[in-house]
């Protein structure tokens, strides 16, 4: 009995020690430090995948010692998570990695910095810059969370909010001049890769980039798809309901005008936007359009379009779905030209203002601001997003099909009825050390496994090796085989 007690005490001591192993003070010269950058839309999915790569010695489904670091301070627990607009565009995850992370990371204390600032193409741009690509969308500076272990200049504070994992807030960010990493244990100056909403070719063609993928690295399909939708401000949502005969008592909003606090977003009450109308608005036609295109009662009213910058995978997805660009370029033609700019800023037309935003969080913030000002705004967001905290937006149907018929906002896409979705890819840079290559391989595997990653707006495709028959709410019937320009088939 005495021996058992000693053993138990030792075991509990180990658990206690492990649970605090990755605080800032415990990040030392032997800690592996890696950096990933890219898409902002699947931020919560990447965070979820990292959680599964961390060691879980007691097999309780939670990491043993994961600590999360966020750029900004928040007051609501719902906002204290990667991917929430209030928490910022930069994060870091520190834990002891487990076997799913690969042989070069298994058992090692690891910090993974995560930048989800200007979109998918930022997974590639640091490496394009070092490869000599001259393009206005390719910068030699990329922002990153500040050094979370720094003794000075670090304002990170452990929050008392009820978060999924121990979380530090207000860690701040800084611009990093892209340069080769000193070593795998140093604070990184170059990402090892990242996740993109669409494959490199779409971004390359959209942005007229000369370097090929092989010049900088390689990518693999994760065999996981991400749905996208049209998010609208509350006043526009209500006006669209009225124009489409959905202004019934059963579908009524809570409040009116700038005072709307909630709308009825059930499929029966959800207004519709046709592919044709949104394409007409954003495909070279904004100069003679207004809010009346979406709701006849708003003829002559101003409209905000909250799009993303050209480096965004969400914008690439929007271009591909609504404008067939760049898929229909070449001799056959047919691709539309997107209104607005590929760079941050606003393009003002007589009744339509098209604002190009760095991140999905910016789109949510600006649509929320429009709701609070009784304004009419619309933009594309991934279906991983849902209003949280003070956010005020709602998704509309697209071509008569609701993307939000279930809580996970994916079932109509899984069944093959909702078509606005694309497959994520994982990019690994040629310069990535073995630890970085392991990390990206682990992420790709975990993201494509419906038994591991089960998040709103995401679903595995049959090419993951899992079937819809076995996972009818997590695996789709259709797939694109890693080609965004392909029509999904079953």
Contact between 237 and 422 under an 8 Å Cβ cutoff? The reply is no
307's enclosing H/E stretch is strand 303-308
pLDDT in tens, the chain (490 residues): 333 333 333 333 333 334 445 788 889 999 999 999 999 888 988 999 999 999 999 888 899 999 999 999 999 998 999 988 889 999 999 999 999 999 999 999 999 999 999 889 999 999 999 999 999 999 999 999 999 998 666 789 999 999 999 999 999 999 999 999 999 999 999 999 999 999 999 989 999 999 999 999 999 999 999 999 999 999 999 999 999 999 999 999 999 999 999 999 999 999 999 999 999 999 988 999 999 999 999 999 999 999 999 989 999 999 999 999 999 998 889 999 999 999 999 999 999 999 999 888 899 999 999 999 999 999 999 998 999 878 999 999 999 999 999 999 999 999 999 999 999 999 999 999 999 999 999 999 998 888 777 888 999 999 999 999 999 999 999 999 999 999 999 9
User: Strand pairing partners for 305?
Assistant: 354, 378
Do the strands 90-96 and 67-70 form a parallel or antiparallel pair, or are they unpaired? antiparallel
- The closest of 165, 162, 142, 143 to 54, measured between CA atoms, is 165
**Domain ranges across the chain:** 14-225+423-464, 227-414
Contact between 228 and 314 under an 8 Å Cβ cutoff? The reply is yes
Distance of CA 166 to the CA centre of its chain: 22
Is the pTM higher than 0.85? yes
282's enclosing H/E stretch is helix 275-282
Per-residue pLDDT at 153: 67
Q: How far is CA 187 from CA 13, 35, 81, 144, 183, in A?
A: 30, 9, 23, 10, 9
Contact between 230 and 356 under an 8 Å Cβ cutoff? The reply is no
Q: Where are the alpha helices (DSSP H) in 64-199?
A: 125-130
Give CA–CA dist 236/291, Å, rounded: 8
Contact between 32 and 435 under an 8 Å Cβ cutoff? The reply is yes
Per-residue pLDDT at 12: 32
């Amino acid at each position: 009995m005495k021996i058992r007690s000693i053993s138990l005490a030792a075991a509990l001591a180990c658990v206690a020690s492990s649970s605090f192993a990755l605080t800032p003070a415990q990040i030392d010269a032997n800690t592996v430090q890696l950096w990933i950058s890219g898409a902002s839309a699947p931020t919560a999915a990447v965070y979820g995948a990292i959680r599964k790569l961390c060691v879980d010695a007691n097999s309780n489904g939670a990491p043993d010692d994961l600590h999360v670091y966020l750029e900004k301070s928040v007051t609501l627990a719902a906002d204290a998570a990667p991917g929430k607009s209030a928490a910022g565009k930069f994060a870091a995850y520190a834990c002891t990695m487990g076997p799913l992370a690969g042989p070069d990371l298994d058992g090692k204390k690891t910090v993974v910095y995560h930048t989800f600032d200007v979109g998918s193409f930022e997974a590639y741009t640091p490496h394009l810059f070092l490869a000599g690509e001259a393009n206005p969308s390719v910068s030699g500076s990329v922002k990153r969370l500040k050094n979370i272990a720094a003794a000075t200049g670090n304002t990170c504070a452990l929050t008392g909010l009820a978060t999924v994992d121990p979380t530090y807030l207000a860690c701040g960010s800084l611009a990093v001049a892209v340069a080769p990493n000193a070593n795998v244990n140093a604070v990184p100056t170059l990402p090892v890769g990242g996740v993109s909403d669409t494959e490199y070719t779409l971004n390359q063609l959209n942005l007229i980039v000369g370097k090929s993928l092989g010049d900088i690295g390689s990518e693999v399909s994760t065999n996981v798809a991400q749905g996208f939708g049209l998010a609208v401000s509350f006043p526009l949502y209500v006006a669209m309901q009225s124009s489409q005969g959905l202004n019934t008592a059963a579908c009524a909003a809570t409040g009116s005008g700038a005072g709307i606090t909630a709308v009825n977003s059930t499929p029966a009450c959800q207004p519709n936007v046709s592919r044709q109308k949104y394409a007409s608005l954003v495909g070279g036609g904004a100069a003679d359009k207004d809010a009346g295109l979406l709701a006849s009662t708003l003829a002559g009213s101003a409209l905000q379009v909250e799009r993303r910058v050209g480096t965004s995978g969400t914008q690439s997805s929007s271009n591909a779905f609504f404008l067939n660009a760049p898929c229909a370029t070449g001799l056959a033609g047919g691709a539309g030209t997107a209104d607005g700019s590929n760079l941050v800023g606003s393009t003002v037309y007589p009744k339509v203002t098209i604002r190009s935003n760095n991140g999905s969080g910016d789109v949510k913030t600006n649509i929320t601001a429009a709701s609070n000002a009784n304004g009419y705004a619309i933009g594309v967001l991934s279906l991983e997003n849902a209003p949280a905290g003070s956010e005020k937006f709602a998704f509309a149907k697209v071509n008569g099909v609701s993307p939000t018929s279930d809580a996970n906002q994916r079932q109509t896409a899984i069944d093959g009825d909702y078509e606005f979705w694309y497959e994520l890819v994982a990019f690994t840079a040629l310069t990535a050390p073995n630890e970085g290559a392991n990390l990206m391989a682990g992420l790709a595997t975990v993201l494509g496994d419906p038994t591991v990653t089960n998040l709103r707006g995401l679903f595995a495709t049959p090419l993951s090796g899992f079937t819809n028959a076995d996972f009818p709410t997590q695996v789709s019937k259709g797939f694109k085989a890693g080609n965004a320009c392909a029509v999904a088939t079953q």
